[in-house]
Amino acid sequence: MPDESLGRLVVVGQGYVGLPVAIRAVEVGFEVVGFDLDKDRVELLGRASTFVDDVSDAQIALALSSGRYVATCDQKELAGFDVAVICVPTPLRDGAPDVGCIEEAGRMISGHLAAGCCVVLESTTYPGTTEDVLIPILEAGSGLRAGRDFHVGYSPERIDPSNRTWRFHNTPKIVSGVDDESLRVVREFYDSLVSRTFAVPGTREAELAKLLENTFRHVNIALINELALYTHGLGVDVWSVIDAAATKPFGFMRFEPGPGVGGHCLPIDPSYLSWQVKRSLGQAFRFVDLANAVNDHMPEHVVARAAKCLNARRKAVNGSRILLVGLAYKSNSGDARNSPAVAVARLLDKLGARLYAIDPLVDSTAVPTYVEMVGCEREQLDGADLVIVLTDHDVINWDLVAQRSDCVLDTRNRLRSGNAERL
């Protein structure tokens, strides 16, 4: 750990975005206050216990032992900061972005603003939020003027849970400010945390860049998912088609089909863009609306394919023992937020299936009550009427799944056994 402090940092929100920011800042030498309203979360952090894939217990323990990190619910601890970073949720409510948590964070911070401070918003949101929502709250609560008395910027998060190649510190960071001096201060802060920063003209450009990144992925996944629907009906192997197309060294990027999209970005962020276009221009953002329709339908398609597999064996979904392999929204992650695997489970439950699941990474609190968690064991695989692969964690014993499963629907192309039917 560095011997001298780089300053006092407040990170509002200690979840999947805020905690990696806080721990990295401790590592480079900041004194960090990790603020969160969730008392249970704060208590876990105080015991050096992680709930985020990208931050280990050991990293939290080291941060705590350094004396540079404290997790708290006490707003008094926000006082005296040099930099404050806001990493709070921005969910959709009735199709519109809910920036209530940003507003609340702004009110809390405003009472502790001093001349020369810097406030950065990282929460994903629609263009204009930083200048039109956050700044008026900061100015009203502090009596100070943004740009003149304190600095404000926006830097969208780029956390990819469980990605072992691109971590927080080596992923390029977009930075912006409401004026030139704010940009300089924001960039200087993030230059101390990450290996590369990229400045954009203003906060609106930075806010929209984040939405573009996730909309690009969302739309292309929808394209491949819809292709998978048609190729199955045509008797064509979509995975072979993707493998062939991916041999092209230019003009093609590989995307793969699956049971749907999940996590904290793809099911939500593109809809911010669609909402903003409709509100500002009165027009529909057709690509986003189409992508939402396709990706949201995939769990239903998986269930329909599951029913077809069982029907071929003269069995109904109702009463069948179905074993789900993976409940997280992506491989090698314990994150089950908005997971399509959970959506599949919900639909199967409504049809009367007896549901069991293998997922050693997902916390039991994220598992629906109608799903019984089991281990990847011979008895569980032997006793299943149908095995559905929904998340392809590397820790799963895939050889055993292939050997002992009599009937398999593989939505992730993980198995190549003869009895596995692929999406």
Can you give the pLDDT at residue 94?
83
Q: C-alpha distances in angstroms, 150 versus 116, 142, 376?
A: 5, 10, 55
For residue 236, how many other CB atoms are within 10 A of its CB? 13
CA distance 302 to 327: 14
Share of the chain above pLDDT 70, in %: 99
Q: How confident is the model at residue 2 (pLDDT cuts 50, 70, 90)?
A: low
For residue 278, how many other CB atoms are within 10 A of its CB? 16
Judge whether 363 and 330 are in contact, CB under 8 Å: no
Residues across the chain: 423
Q: C-alpha distances in angstroms, 116 versus 119, 186, 190?
A: 10, 12, 17
Three-class secondary structure of residue 216 per DSSP: helix
What dihedral do alpha carbons 203, 209, 210, 213 form, nearest 10°?
180
Tokens of 221: 């996944």
Domains parsed from the chain with CATH numbers = 8-199 (3.40.50.720), 299-422 (3.40.50.720)
Judge whether 256 and 330 are in contact, CB under 8 Å: no
**pLDDT beyond 70 at 1:** no
The structure tokens 């994903």 sit at 124
Can you give the pLDDT at residue 189?
98
**pLDDT beyond 60 at 198:** yes
Query: What is the average pLDDT across 129-141?
Result: 98
Q: Which H or E run contains 174?
A: strand 173-175
CA distance 174 to 156: 7
5 vs 60, residue with greater confidence: 60
Can you give the pLDDT at residue 3?
60
pLDDT digits (tens, 9 = 90+) for 277-323: 888 888 888 999 999 999 999 999 999 999 999 999 999 999 999 99
CA distance 31 to 6: 7
> Tell me, what amino acid is at 291?
A
CA distance 26 to 22: 6
Report the range of poorest mean pLDDT among 199-203, 228-232, 418-422.
418-422
Query: What is the average pLDDT across 166-188?
Result: 97
11 vs 6, residue with greater confidence: 11
Q: Which H or E run contains 32?
A: strand 31-35
**pLDDT beyond 90 at 423:** no
Can you give the pLDDT at residue 53?
86
- Catalytic (active site) residue 87: no
Judge whether 134 and 102 are in contact, CB under 8 Å: yes
The structure tokens 């996944």 sit at 221
pLDDT digits (tens, 9 = 90+) for 202-222: 999 999 999 999 999 999 999
Share of the chain above pLDDT 90, in %: 84
> Tell me, what amino acid is at 50?
T
Catalytic residue of the set 265, 309, 376, 407:
265
Q: What pTM does this model have?
A: 0.92
pLDDT digits (tens, 9 = 90+) for 384-403: 999 999 999 999 999 999 99
Report the range of poorest mean pLDDT among 27-31, 77-81, 92-96, 131-135.
92-96
CA distance 364 to 367: 5
Strands 386-389 and 321-325: parallel
Question: What single string gives the DSSP state of each residue in 178-215?
Answer: SSHHHHHHHHHHHHTTSS-EEE-SSHHHHHHHHHHHHH
Query: What is the average pLDDT across 133-148?
Result: 97
Can you give the pLDDT at residue 5?
80
pLDDT digits (tens, 9 = 90+) for 229-261: 999 889 999 999 999 999 999 999 999 999 999
pLDDT digits (tens, 9 = 90+) for 262-272: 987 878 888 88
| Phi, psi for residue 15 in degrees, rounded to 5 | -100, -145
